[in-house]
Chain A
Amino acid sequence: MLQNAMLRELWLQWQRRKWRARATHPLLQRLLVDPLPDGHFNERRYVVADLETTSLSAAEGEIASIGWVAVEQGRVLLESARHFHIAVRDEVGQSAVFHQLTDTDLKQGVELQVALGHFLGAIRGSTLVFHNAQLDMAFLNDAVQALWGAPLLVPVEDTMQWQLQRLSRQMEVIPDGALRLFQCRARYGLPDAPAHDALGDAIATAELWLAINAE
């Protein structure tokens, strides 16, 4: 586990050096040059984010909205919360039905580069946190690379992976749905929440991240 973390960091350092020169956006360049954050949970800054997408595959879908919130000194700062709806070109796919978005909502949104520009500014010096990072990071890396020449090579934590490890220690077979955000929250006694949007899920994930780190 510790070794994995070290390997991941080495790989990340190496990738950053490789892509540094190709980044065209000044904020992205800076992210790839800044030293990697370290220290204990309470000393670090995290940005917890969630995306809504028009498909479950980054190759086929687009980002429909993004919400994020910062965690500093072990506290979720709602003042830092941001929520962007993005104008998509495609018709709304299946995923949007889950997320209760309509075509009207989506067409009222901002350009993707505006939203991601704000995002790059917000995550400086931070570790990103997602619930299921793989999916969201695939969309973000594709989008950032397409826009500004380099992927988003920053440290990432995944609350779902933490839960997976914890559950695999306890049970042989992990039941369907056991890793869903609100199932994971329930395991820490965190409250259920009504139907969600990207920002709501980002905050819910941030609370889960606090609970995981309190263990």
Chain B
Amino acid sequence: MALDPKHPEIQAVADFLRECLPFDALPEQALQDTARQIEISYHRAGHRFSAASDVYALRLVRSGAVEIRASNNRLLDRLGEGESFNIHGLDTGDEGVSAVAIEDSLIYQLPRNRYESLRTRFRDFDRHFHSQRSRRLRRAARYQPNANLMMQPIDAHVSREPLTLPPTTPIQEAAGAMSERRVSSVLVMDSGQLLGILTDRDLRSRALARGLPLDMPIGEIMTRPCSSIELGASIFDATLQMTQEGIHHLPVMDSSSVAGIITSSDLMLARRNDPVYLVQHIGRQQDTASMRAIAAALPSLMVDAIGGGMRAHQLSRVLTAISDAVTRRLIELAINELGPAPVPFCWLAFGSQARGEQLIGADQDNGLLIDDSATEQDMDWFRRLAQMVCDGLNECGYVYCPGKVMATTDKWRQRLAGWQRTVDSWTRAPSPDAVMRVSIFFDLRAVHGDKGLCQRLQKHMLARTREDSIFQAALAANVLEHTPPLGIFRRFLLERNGEHRDEFDIKKRGVMPIVDLVRIHALANGVEAVNTRERLRALIDCKALTIGDGRNMQDAFDTIQQLRIENQCRQVTDGARASNYLNPRDLPELERKHLKDAFTVVNDAQEALRHRYRQGL
């Protein structure tokens, strides 16, 4: 036992430090000295550690837990006992990085000068924080939200070395230089001054079309004075200016000198992560491979969009619009190869794509509805179409449906009369097994082709299901098989310190029970909408549901979908594949409560349904 009373060994603190990275690498004396420099604080859950005017460089969690979040509130890291964080190290450029205690926490703080001196003196210590910092930065950078994409400065998208020529250059020489540099414009300059701009269009309309001599100087045919834009302008400003003036090239000025040039295709490229742009862009792809590349970026698009504040139902609309666009483009490409369709047809989407509720990693559920006039030979054309489109979808990441609900399956590729007979057989003698397999069919939507065909099929279907209480009861029996895992929450409390095996499939146990419930009500009441939110609205309008019940169901649905998406964002951010498995332990207390409330609503609604169809069950 050391007996220097003024520099005592602080045994408990030193013992703790010895078990924390990277303090374990410090020599004993430095460790003891460090222990004596620590200041201890205690913070209730919810306390926010601010970066402003902070004398502490390093904070070490002694007990409790701390969350690190980016300015858009996206979770960057969760720290527990023995883990340390340095707000300033995280805060490079992004002013808003914050740390919040999520449990009551005891924090050991190391003053800045002490921390810096350890980093200077001990290389391993320094390296640890260096790599930790860059790891977090990488994570943060990879998922920068694009919510305000249009407000970004054009700076990063400007071509910095534009082709410039004096006004005396002959037209032919200018055209040669443009071809060589593969550019569509040239800035005409004289001793550092921008005189005008010459574009492909000018060459065509002012020189070639008028038959001007090729040795005429470009000063004669350039556009002058030409408009320009400042380097600090936003992508929005530049897009607006080009649209208003009907031009595609803008010289970029840095105060009075030329900084470069920006073109309309530069602006298009800058917007490539914008979902609306993405949908247009898919329609221009020439092969499956390039669409697959676009689809591969969807997980990070999801993280960006949610980080930027997009809600679950909006995002699932966007993701559905994208898979619709991929499907349409694949059909168009197939038709280019197969020749035009022999008779009218409609490509149908089923399930989540039909409802507009698709998320990342959905498999394909589709079918082909063909005009009754098709001959057997025509049907062969559609068999080949189905094969090409389903293969293409699979390549793009919309994997084959395990239940074979695809246009390649004969039963899901029929003439209208065939489809109607199939519907009749399902509703006439419903077996529970059959009902389970076909319930997905009752969410259908036309993606491409003759929408009238789809409407006729849907009318037929609704007419059958609306009057058939036995079929409704069979559907109800199927729905009631999946109940939300309410028990988890009780167990969760008991097992707070134990092991957790409470992971559950939030799609199967949370989303589908609501979708199924709402579908039954929709079918029983002849509601044509297939989107769950729209169905609920229609059911409230026709008084099949009370406003209160309808809104509760919608809130429950939105909450569960939101948690499901945020869970997928966490998985993607952690480098995992997006899945539907969720562990309630990963949720903050409040969200856990929301989830429990949502499950309770579903549970109550299931009870009501059980009551209603009791005779048939």
Can you list 24 A-B contacts with CB-CB less than 8 angstroms, sorted by A residue number? Answer: A74-B41, A75-B40, A76-B39, A76-B41, A78-B13, A78-B38, A78-B39, A79-B39, A81-B10, A83-B9, A84-B5, A85-B5, A190-B106, A191-B63, A199-B8, A200-B10, A200-B11, A203-B13, A203-B40, A207-B40, A210-B42, A210-B106, A211-B106, A214-B104
Chain B, 7-52, CB within 8 A of any chain A CB:
8-13, 15, 35-44
Q: Which one of A83, A188, A210, A211 lies within 8 Å of B5 (CB-CB)?
A: A83
Distance to closest chain B CB from A181 (angstroms)? 12
B44 and A214 within 8 A (CB): yes
Q: Which one of B6, B11, B40, B104 lies within 8 Å of A82 (CB-CB)?
A: B6
Distance to closest chain A CB from B117 (angstroms)? 15
A203 and B5 within 8 A (CB): no
The distance in angstroms between the C-alpha atoms of A188 and B63, with both chains bound, is: 10
Q: A105-B1, A188-B104 are in contact. Are A203 and B10 (CB under 8 A)?
A: yes
When distances are taken between beta carbons in the complex, the residues of chain B under 8 Å from A191 are 62-63, 81, 106
B44 and A81 within 8 A (CB): no
User: In this assembly, does A115 line the interface, its C-beta being within 8 Å of a C-beta of chain B?
Assistant: yes
User: In this assembly, does B103 line the interface, its C-beta being within 8 Å of a C-beta of chain A?
Assistant: yes
The distance in angstroms between the C-alpha atoms of A75 and B3, with both chains bound, is: 26
When distances are taken between beta carbons in the complex, the residues of chain B under 8 Å from A17 are none
Chain A, 104-146, CB within 8 A of any chain B CB:
105, 108-110, 115, 118
User: In this assembly, does B260 line the interface, its C-beta being within 8 Å of a C-beta of chain A?
Assistant: no
The distance in angstroms between the C-alpha atoms of A211 and B40, with both chains bound, is: 11
Q: A78-B38, A78-B39, A190-B63 are in contact. Are A83 and B8 (CB under 8 A)?
A: yes
User: In this assembly, does A32 line the interface, its C-beta being within 8 Å of a C-beta of chain B?
Assistant: no
When distances are taken between beta carbons in the complex, the residues of chain B under 8 Å from A84 are 5
Mark A residues whose CB is within 8 Å of B. Answer: 67, 74-79, 81-85, 105, 108-110, 115, 118, 188-191, 193-194, 196-197, 199-200, 203-204, 206-207, 210-211, 214
- Give the number of residue pairs across the A-B interface with Cβ within 8 Å: 83
The distance in angstroms between the C-alpha atoms of A79 and B109, with both chains bound, is: 12
Distance to closest chain A CB from B290 (angstroms)? 54
* Max chain A Cβ within 10 angstroms of own Cβ: one of B9, B11, B37, B104: B11
When distances are taken between beta carbons in the complex, the residues of chain B under 8 Å from A75 are 39-41, 109
A109 nearest CB neighbor, chain B only: B3
A105 nearest CB neighbor, chain B only: B1
When distances are taken between beta carbons in the complex, the residues of chain A under 8 Å from B81 are 191
Distance to closest chain A CB from B480 (angstroms)? 42
A193 nearest CB neighbor, chain B only: B12
The distance in angstroms between the C-alpha atoms of A81 and B57, with both chains bound, is: 21
User: In this assembly, does B64 line the interface, its C-beta being within 8 Å of a C-beta of chain A?
Assistant: yes
A189 nearest CB neighbor, chain B only: B104
Distance to closest chain B CB from A126 (angstroms)? 17
B104 and A200 within 8 A (CB): no
When distances are taken between beta carbons in the complex, the residues of chain B under 8 Å from A207 are 40, 42, 106
- 7 new A-B contacts at CB < 8 Å, known A206-B40, A214-B42: A78-B39, A79-B37, A82-B6, A82-B8, A199-B11, A203-B12, A211-B106
Q: Which one of B5, B37, B103 lies within 8 Å of A115 (CB-CB)?
A: B5
B6 nearest CB neighbor, chain A only: A82
The distance in angstroms between the C-alpha atoms of A193 and B81, with both chains bound, is: 14
When distances are taken between beta carbons in the complex, the residues of chain B under 8 Å from A83 are 5, 8-9
The distance in angstroms between the C-alpha atoms of A196 and B103, with both chains bound, is: 26
B576-611 Cβ-contact flags toward A at 8 Å (1 or 0): 000000000000000000000000000000000000
A78 and B63 within 8 A (CB): no
A104 nearest CB neighbor, chain B only: B1
Among all A-B residue pairs, the 4 with the closest Cβ atoms: A83-B8, A76-B40, A210-B42, A191-B63
Distance to closest chain B CB from A83 (angstroms)? 3
The distance in angstroms between the C-alpha atoms of A110 and B8, with both chains bound, is: 14
When distances are taken between beta carbons in the complex, the residues of chain B under 8 Å from A199 are 8, 10-11
Q: Which one of B11, B35, B39, B63 lies within 8 Å of A189 (CB-CB)?
A: B63
A206 nearest CB neighbor, chain B only: B40
Q: A78-B35, A79-B36, A199-B8 are in contact. Are A85 and B104 (CB under 8 A)?
A: no
Chain B, 100-119, CB within 8 A of any chain A CB:
103-104, 106, 109
The distance in angstroms between the C-alpha atoms of A196 and B13, with both chains bound, is: 12
The distance in angstroms between the C-alpha atoms of A191 and B109, with both chains bound, is: 16
B81 nearest CB neighbor, chain A only: A191
When distances are taken between beta carbons in the complex, the residues of chain B under 8 Å from A110 are 5
The distance in angstroms between the C-alpha atoms of A188 and B9, with both chains bound, is: 26
The distance in angstroms between the C-alpha atoms of A188 and B42, with both chains bound, is: 10
Distance to closest chain B CB from A88 (angstroms)? 15
The distance in angstroms between the C-alpha atoms of A20 and B37, with both chains bound, is: 37
When distances are taken between beta carbons in the complex, the residues of chain B under 8 Å from A81 are 8, 10, 36
The distance in angstroms between the C-alpha atoms of A109 and B225, with both chains bound, is: 92
Distance to closest chain B CB from A71 (angstroms)? 9
A209 nearest CB neighbor, chain B only: B42
The distance in angstroms between the C-alpha atoms of A139 and B1, with both chains bound, is: 24
When distances are taken between beta carbons in the complex, the residues of chain A under 8 Å from B36 are 78-79, 81
The distance in angstroms between the C-alpha atoms of A127 and B40, with both chains bound, is: 18
